[in-house]
Structures are given as structure tokens and as C-alpha cells.
Amino acid sequence: MTFWRSKRASTQDKAVAFDLEAASYARFENVGLEISGRTILQDLSLQLNQQRIGLVGLNGSGKSSFVRLLNGLRQPTSGRLEIFGADAVAARKDLPRHVGFVFQNPDHQAIFPTVEEDVAFGLRQLGEDDRLALEQARDFLSLHGASHLAQRPIAELSEGQKQLVCILAVLIMQPSLIILDEPYSSLDALAARRLHAKLESLPQKIVMISHDPSQLEDFDRVVWIEAGGLRADGAPGEILKAYDDDIRAKAAAAGVDDWDRGHL
């Protein structure tokens, strides 16, 4: 059974010259981001070219801000960023067609009353006919063992169910790059295993934020963001170990049992 829209984007998009086969799907050159006069990200220079890249960093370090740059939710305020070969500022309106974004908080993503309408929405955005989009959404939900949720109001779902629906709403669009911002945060162990296996099987590029190092161990690369900058970048084994060591050192210095000696 196939679900994919007939109007699928070609490798060279007509409106903006995206190169969806580019080896480096994101190129950061001295990229900075300021919001309301505050520096959130600074002087980031790196290229993303591996299939699955994990992002780690403490709360508030800038991970969500970093991934928001990738699909046009934020634009750099300094430096240059190219996504699939196109300037991220000039291409910001077209980026969501190729870069799917699973939000950390499902309430920021789901906008339609029912699950099937929400999953169908992305296909409609891509130009699919309303009725066909809804049919494909139902089939897709069924394929992923979620047909029982199809007509449920999203607002009534559990947090984990909402998170899974938001993931499906992005997967159905088959974007070339999929961003996942802490997708495991509300999932039970079974759903987490299923998602892990699913992500492993996908042909698309994936950039995923996770506070659970075990979900990133088999990724191709891990990038560690600290205080809005690049702290380390490399093989998961090396970076996750260094990150864990750093957390242990900080915990020992701050006194993990003493909330007041730490800081938010």
C-alpha cells in the first residue's frame, strides 16, 4: 500500500533551489542567534552530513533554538546558514516542506481537533486533495497501529499518545530531514523501543535532541551544545562519555542533593 502524494517535490525544487541530495544538508558559517537582545547561539560553524545526528546539552543551552534554525522557525541574526544548499533566510517559508519538525511540546504542534485531521493537515499543505489526505491519514494511522485514535480529540489524548501522533503527522509528509526535539520524553518503554526501531529504519536524515544518551548511542554523530556554542562534536561513544563525565563533575561541584547550590 502506498500513501504518498503524487505532487512530491522533485530533487530540485522549483520555487527555491534546494538540493535535497546535498551531502551536507546544513552548513553553518559563524551562525549566531539573538532574541530580544540576548545571545542565544553564537559563532556556530559546522556542517551536518551524517544520516542520524544527536544533540545533547543541559537545559537552556540552546538545542531547541539550534534545530529551529533548520526548518525556518528561527533565522540566524549573524553568519550564514544553508539548508539543502539554499540560504535559510531566503528559503524560510519553503523549508518546512522539506524539514519536518516534531516539537518538544505536542500542544505547540497539533492544531486540529481530531487525530486524523491533524495527520492529514501536512498532506493538505503539500497540495493533496482534502478527501485523499484524510484517507491517507487514516491508512497511515492504521499502518502504525493507531487507527483506534483516528477520530479521538487530540486534547483528550495522553501526553505519550499526543507525542506519537505528532511524530506520525511529520512522518506521513516524508520530509527529507526530520527534526525531533526530545521525542521520548513522554513515551513508555514499549513505545520508545518502537520509535527507536522506526527511526533506525527511516531513509531520511534525522537530527534529534535527547536527554537520554542510550537513544543516541547508535547514531552517526553527536553534537554537544553548551551555553549557545559548540562544546564538542564527534562519535557518540566519545561525546556521550565526555558529556556524562562533565555532568558528574558539575553535580559533584554543585552538590546534587542541594537544590539551592545549583542554578537553573
Binding site for ligand ATP (CB under 6 A): 35-36, 38, 40, 57, 59-65
Q: Smallest distance from the beta carbon of 22 to ligand ATP, in angstroms?
A: 25
Q: Which helix (H) or strand (E) holds 133?
A: helix 130-143
CB atoms within 10 A of CB 25: 26
Q: Which helix (H) or strand (E) holds 135?
A: helix 130-143
Nearer residue to ligand ATP within complex by CB, 40 or 206: 40
Nearer residue to ligand ATP within complex by CB, 61 or 109: 61
Distance CA 102, CA 210 (A): 12
Nearer residue to ligand ATP within complex by CB, 126 or 230: 230
Distance CA 182, CA 188 (A): 14
Cα dist. 155→84, 107, 112, 120, 160 in Å?
A: 35, 8, 9, 17, 12
Q: How many CA atoms within 13 Å lie on the side-chain side of 232?
A: 15
**CA R_g for the chain:** 19
Nearer residue to ligand ATP within complex by CB, 64 or 176: 64
- Nearest by Cα to 5 from 167, 174, 166: 174
Nearer residue to ligand ATP within complex by CB, 176 or 210: 210
Q: Smallest distance from the beta carbon of 66 to ligand ATP, in angstroms?
A: 7
Q: Smallest distance from the beta carbon of 7 to ligand ATP, in angstroms?
A: 34
Helix (H, G, I), strand (E, B) or coil at 153: strand
Q: Smallest distance from the beta carbon of 156 to ligand ATP, in angstroms?
A: 26
Can you read off the three cell numbers belonging to residue 31?
551562525
Q: Smallest distance from the beta carbon of 191 to ligand ATP, in angstroms?
A: 20
Nearer residue to ligand ATP within complex by CB, 15 or 35: 35
CB atoms within 10 A of CB 32: 17
Q: Smallest distance from the beta carbon of 129 to ligand ATP, in angstroms?
A: 36
